[in-house]
Amino acid sequence: MKRVLILASKLGYQTQAFADAAKRLGVEVSLGTDRCHKLDDPWGDGAMALHFENAEESASKIVRETMGDAPDAIVALGDRTTAAAARAACALGLSSNTAEAVEICRNKLRQRETLKLAGLPVPDFFAFALDEDISSVLTRVLFPCVVKPLALAASQGVIRANDAAEFRRAVERIRALFDQPEIRATRDGTLDRVLVERYVPGGEVAIEGLITEGRLRVLAIFDKPDALEGPYFEEAIYVTPSCLPQRTQDAIADCATRCVAALGLVTGPFHAEFRINEDGVWVIEIAPRPIGGLCSRALRFGDGGMSLEELILRHALGLGDSELARESAAAGVMMIPVPRSGIFEGVEGIEAARRVRGVEDVLITARLHDNIAAWPEGSSYLGFIFSRGDSAEEAEAALRVAHSKLNFVIRARLPVEHPVTGRITA
């Protein structure tokens, strides 16, 4: 029986989807997570407790604990797990990207430097330390710009600034975000620096792909039909197939292929964002991992509707059929945005939203009575709406109608005074 080790910092829906796919394939699954490193068996499910920010230590632990019983593949979910997965896979002699390649991808500054050096179209950028004098940093900034953390994901802390005052406010907001206990707990080594880059105007797409021996196969190009102009960049709708002209899609695929080579990626899932304007295709970000959250449900392959998770496992384990093409139907997913921060007290209209023609499902993933944060502090959506149709326009329209049926009840949090600084936060 083949064995796969899944590394994930959230043991949520995506991990479950991989576990389900593995079960269908008769593949044994073990898990590694860093959700609670104080316990040896955080969920009583045998998950290995790891500290992903220390990739070397995590990899050694994986090698040690799987001794004599090594997995046939390691799958990394989310950005934080990729370095540990690559190091462990290399040490175990499994097919993998090099640790160097995934570590470059993981750090937005290193990724920009590498892509720029290879002549790929990236916006001008520089990084500065949060303890630098902002007035002197400002002498280097060209507006409009985007300010972003080096290693967070899901657009958390990504802020557009159009002038010096907005820039100062954006930096303060990122500083406060870095001070939050959940972010501190990641012990990421880049939480003292910020990346600044020119704002790239234009439409945006996401690519989902699979790399085999350095060759990228594009599984889907998703259009993002909403204007993503900031100041914050939470995602909303993804639809595929893309409505862009074929030559533009080819240019995007070509740019993605060049990024794969420049970054030295050789195998496994690939997710990336690009912007397109009259100057051509611009790289926004490349990640050697599958699309996050529940979005993969928008993708099905072959006549039998194989899931992305199954396709990735088949690819990683050499089980065949990982060359299947995406189904012919158009598909869409909406990551339901958080309209404002507060306490999530419920949602009305789910059944009405589910009844909308073309809608396949509506899933609310926010937990009742939990605090939810809007962007840029936030990084989790309220839930997901899935649709299918004869065309991408149809799939998109179904998502919008379904979303209009939902009414989220979000209660304002009472302001809290910090016991030491006296700062009031809502």
Nearest distance from residue 421's CB to ligand ADP, in Å? 27
Nearest distance from residue 410's CB to ligand ADP, in Å? 23
Nearest distance from residue 299's CB to ligand ADP, in Å? 19
For 185, phi and psi rounded to 5 degrees? -60, -20
CA 424 to CA 173: how far, in whole Å? 14
Nearer to ligand ADP by Cβ, of 104 and 154: the residue is 154
Nearer to ligand ADP by Cβ, of 80 and 108: the residue is 108
DSSP string across 225-280? -S---SSB----EEEES--S-HHHHHHHHHHHHHHHHHHT--SEEEEEEEEEETTE
CA 46 to CA 59: how far, in whole Å? 17
String of contacts with ligand ADP for each residue 186-225, x by CB under 6 A: -----------x-xx---x---------------------
Structure tokens at 164: 């010096």
Helix axes 99-106, 108-117, angle to 10 degrees: 110
Give how many residues touch ligand ADP by CB under 6 A.
Answer: 19
Nearest distance from residue 378's CB to ligand ADP, in Å? 11
Inter-residue contact 198 to 148 (CB < 8 Å): no
Nearest distance from residue 113's CB to ligand ADP, in Å? 14
Sign for the pseudo-dihedral over CA of 67, 70, 76, 77: negative
String of contacts with ligand ADP for each residue 353-392, x by CB under 6 A: ----------------------------------------
Instruction: Provide the pairing of β-strand 159-161 with 416-417.
Output: unpaired
String of contacts with ligand ADP for each residue 122-161, x by CB under 6 A: -x----------------------x-x---xxxxx-x---
For tokens 């002197």, name the residue: 136
Applying CB under 6 A, does 284 fall inside the site for ligand ADP? yes
Q: Is 362 strand, coil or helix?
A: strand
Applying CB under 6 A, does 233 fall inside the site for ligand ADP? yes
Inter-residue contact 290 to 296 (CB < 8 Å): yes
Nearer to ligand ADP by Cβ, of 42 and 376: the residue is 376
Inter-residue contact 396 to 332 (CB < 8 Å): yes
Applying CB under 6 A, does 9 fall inside the site for ligand ADP? no
**Binding ligand ADP by CB under 6 A: which of 6, 161, 228, 253?**
228
Nearest distance from residue 396's CB to ligand ADP, in Å? 18
Nearest distance from residue 234's CB to ligand ADP, in Å? 9
The contact set with ligand ADP (CB under 6 A) reads 108, 123, 146, 148, 152-156, 158, 197, 199-200, 204, 228, 233, 273, 284-285
